């Protein structure tokens, strides 16, 4: 029974591997079939209960270990759900030429390893999938094939592997504390083994955190984000921001709360430094987005700041803040996918790339712009959307922390950032819907993208709203996770 855990990882990887070799099979049908079967598999293993399987065990510290717990369920559902919806969008977006097979191949491969990362039962397994995620997403980044895209892809590689290297080295040194790296709620750090060298262990935690943080855009290692995103095809950009960065968040959660443990980090310099770093990132991301004029890059900067909301909540190490963080994982996952998909559709339909280019777009492509507007409102954090609830709990957590000055600064920064978010998103949709009284309604042509593109948009935008109004199911689920941790 437990062997089932391997299936949703292997299926997309195998399918991706054989995909370019297939002759006479409709690519879209094939990908749809794989995604459908895999979604069913994911739902199946999520409902099976807490099962685990140790595939390969070289030493007690070095083993391939898959398991399902509530945190995995949370992230696997998010990842699989978003990936599935974006698949349909991709069908409407990627041009049907002979290069598309390459895109779908790596699309499926990345999907497989991300599922693997969410199911990982120890840090080594997670690290392994994490590295493969970087490798398999590289062709998606460079899909445009021009020089700029390859340069961007290389930059992503440099930063990602640098970050992964930090984590790897930290794990390497931490192994001497006799850690198993298996994920156990509350941490597995052996206090007796650490005794005497706590500051060393803290340093290693810090390094590993920053290492994973690179893919969650932590300051000062987010310089690759603004370079990479404008080159990435929109569905891939949406998934990078919505899912890939969330795998980094998962890794950070596992590292912080399941390996080192909240008690060990609470009140130390590492907590303070990380709080400062995340608060700084929140500001820098929003400020840069506010000043950026290139549409996709603005959204990329926006992700930089939003991801740090989540990390801020994690580093606060309290149940309320974690609730805010996890809600924001869903909120940002859903919303940023909406925004990138809508932006992609707007860019593709009009051929324009700057934020000021979409005057009157609300009249010619109302569905896309309505979804974009809803997503923007949710991202700013205006009720009754999920973005508001998550920020509420993050701020409540910030104000209730044991580090009052930093907590208050953080809560205040969330609001300043929300203000900036309003500043960089509102003009886009306001201009699109209110083009001015001289707007020529006679020349108006309907320019709405295909159904493949609009339907995923509508579903996701509706989710951002519905989860905000009925968050009970999410909140109960998160409470069941944090009940084990604190």
Partner 1 sequence: MTIYGNIALLAPIFWPIIGAFIAFLIGKKSKNARDYFVKFVAVSTFGIMFALVFGATTGEGAPYFMISGFMGDRIHFRLDGLRAVYGLIASFMWMMTTLVSREYFAEYRNRNRYYLFSLLTLGGTMGVFFSADLFTTFVFFELMSIASYVMVIHDEKPATLDAARTYMAVAVIGGLALLFGILIVNSTLGTTEIAAIFPAMQAYDGSMGILYLAGVFMLVGFGGKAGMYPLHIWLPNAHPVAPAPASALLSGVLTKTGVFGLIIVSLLLFNSDTGWGFLMLNIGIIGMITGAMLALFSTDLKRTLAYSSVSQIGFIILGLGMANILVAFRDAYYHSLAIHGTMLHMVNHSLIKLLLFMAAGVVYLNVHHLDLNKIRGFGRGKPIFTIVFLMGALAIIGMPLWSGYISKTLLHDTLVYYIMYGDFEGRMAVLRYFQILEGVFTITGGLTTAYMTKLFICICVEKNQFDQAKMDGKNKKYMGKLTAGVLIVCAALLPILGLNPDWFMIPIASFGHDFMMLAYYPYALNFWAWMPISGVLASFAIGAILYIFVVRMILTRKDEEGRSIYVNLWPSWLDIEHRIYRPLLKTVLPAIGGFFAKVATSIVPVITGAIHKGLVGFRGFWHKKTSDRPERSFLQTIGLSGQRGEFVRIIFGSLLYALLIVFIGFTVVQLLILFG
Q: What angle do CA 158, 160, 161 make, to 5 degrees?
A: 70
- In angstroms, the CA 4 to CA 161 distance is 31
Among 164, 244, 299, 311, binds partner 1 (CB under 8 A): 164
Q: How far apart are CA 205 and CA 210, in angstroms?
A: 9
Q: Judged by CB under 8 A, which of 128, 184, 384, 455 binds partner 1?
A: 384
Check residue 168 for interaction with partner 1 (CB under 8 A): yes
Does 287 contact partner 1 by CB under 8 A?
Answer: yes
Q: Which residues on neighbouring strands pair with residue 120, listed in sequence order?
A: 66
**Paired strand residues for 67:** 52
Residue in 42, 119, 170, 465 binding partner 1, rule: CB under 8 A:
170
Residue 214 C-beta: closest distance to partner 1, Å: 10
Q: How many residues of this chain bind partner 1 (CB under 8 A)?
A: 69
377 binds partner 1 (CB under 8 A): yes
User: Of 71 and 207, which has the nearer Cβ to partner 1?
Assistant: 207
Find residue 122's DSSP bridge partners. 182
Q: Residue 138 or 183: which CB sits closer to partner 1?
A: 138
Nearer Cβ to partner 1, position 165 or 186?
Answer: 165
Contact flag: residue 366 with partner 1 (CB under 8 A): no
Q: Does 269 bind partner 1 (CB under 8 A)?
A: no
Nearer to partner 1, 1 or 437 (CB): 437
Interaction between residue 383 and partner 1 (CB under 8 A): yes
411-450 binders of partner 1 (CB under 8 A): 411-412, 415, 418-419, 422, 426, 430, 434-437, 439, 441
**Per CB under 8 A, does 160 bind partner 1?**
yes
Do 323 and 393 touch, CB atoms closer than 8 A?
yes
Least distance (Å) between residue 327 CB and partner 1: 10
In the complex with partner 1, which residue's Cβ is closer, 434 or 450?
A: 434
Q: How far is the CB of 351 from partner 1 (least distance, A)?
A: 25
Closest CB to partner 1 among residues 26, 427: 427
Q: Does 471 bind partner 1 (CB under 8 A)?
A: yes
Q: Please state the closest distance from residue 423 (CB atom) to partner 1, in A.
A: 8
Residue 307 is a binding residue for partner 1 (CB under 8 A): no
Return the number of the residue (304 or 457) whose C-beta is nearest partner 1: 304
Residue 380 sits in the site that holds partner 1 (CB under 8 A): yes
What mask, x for binding partner 1 by CB under 8 A, covers residues 223 to 262?
x---------------------------------------
Positions 73 through 132 that interact with partner 1 (CB under 8 A): none
Dihedral angle at the C-alpha atoms of 363, 369, 374, 380, nearest 10 degrees? Answer: -110
> Which residues contact partner 1 by CB under 8 A?
138, 150, 154, 157-166, 168-170, 173, 197, 199-200, 203-204, 207, 211, 219-223, 280, 283-284, 287-288, 290-291, 377, 380, 382-384, 388-389, 392-393, 395-396, 399-400, 411-412, 415, 418-419, 422, 426, 430, 434-437, 439, 441, 468-472, 475
């Amino acid at each position: 029974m437990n062997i089932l855990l391997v299936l949703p990882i292997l299926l997309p990887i195998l399918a991706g591997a054989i995909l370019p070799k297939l002759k006479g099979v409709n690519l879209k049908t094939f990908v749809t079939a794989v995604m459908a079967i895999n979604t069913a598999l994911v739902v199946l293993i999520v409902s099976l209960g807490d099962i685990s399987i140790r595939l390969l065990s070289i030493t007690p510290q070095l083993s391939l270990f898959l398991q399902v717990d509530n945190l995995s369920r949370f992230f696997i559902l998010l990842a699989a759900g978003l990936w599935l919806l974006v698949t349909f969008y991709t069908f409407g977006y990627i041009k049907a030429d002979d290069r598309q097979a390459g895109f779908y191949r790596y699309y499926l491969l990345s999907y497989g390893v991300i599922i693997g990362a969410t199911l990982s039962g120890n840090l080594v397994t997670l690290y392994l999938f994490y590295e493969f995620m970087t490798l398999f997403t590289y062709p998606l980044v460079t899909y445009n094939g021009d020089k700029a895209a390859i340069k961007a892809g290389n930059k992503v590689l440099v930063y990602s592997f640098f970050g992964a290297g930090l984590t790897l080295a930290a794990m390497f040194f931490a192994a001497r504390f006799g850690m198993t790296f298996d994920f156990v709620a509350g941490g597995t750090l052996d206090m007796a083994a650490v005794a005497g060298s706590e500051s060393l262990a803290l340093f290693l935690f810090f390094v590993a955190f920053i290492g994973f943080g690179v893919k969650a855009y932590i300051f000062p290692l987010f310089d690759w984000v603004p370079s990479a995103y404008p080159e990435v095809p929109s569905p891939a950009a949406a998934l990078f921001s919505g899912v890939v960065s969330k795998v980094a968040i998962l890794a950070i959660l596992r590292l912080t709360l399941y390996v080192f443990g909240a008690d060990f980090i609470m009140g130390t310099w590492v907590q303070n430094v990380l709080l400062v770093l995340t608060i700084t990132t929140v500001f820098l991301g929003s400020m840069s987005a506010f000043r950026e004029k290139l549409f996709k890059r603005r959204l990329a900067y926006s992700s930089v700041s939003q991801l740090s909301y989540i990390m801020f909540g994690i580093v606060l190490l309290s149940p309320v803040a974690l609730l805010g963080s996890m809600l924001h994982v869903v909120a940002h996952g859903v919303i940023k996918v909406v925004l990138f998909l809508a932006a992609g559709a707007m860019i593709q339909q009009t051929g324009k790339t700057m934020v000021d280019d979409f005057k009157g777009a609300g009249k010619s492509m109302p569905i896309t712009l309505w979804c974009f507007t809803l997503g923007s409102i949710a991202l700013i954090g205006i009720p009754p959307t999920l973005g508001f609830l998550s920020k509420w709990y993050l701020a409540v957590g910030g104000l209730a922390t044991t580090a009052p000055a930093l907590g208050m600064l953080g809560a205040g920064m969330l609001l300043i950032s929300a203000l900036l978010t309003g500043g960089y998103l509102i003009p886009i949709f306001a201009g699109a819907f209110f083009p001015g009284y001289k707007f020529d309604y006679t020349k108006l042509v309907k320019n709405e993208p295909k159904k493949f593109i609009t339907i995923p948009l509508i579903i996701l935008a509706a989710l951002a709203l519905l989860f905000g109004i009925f968050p009970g199911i999410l909140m109960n689920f998160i409470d069941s996770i944090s009940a084990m941790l604190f």
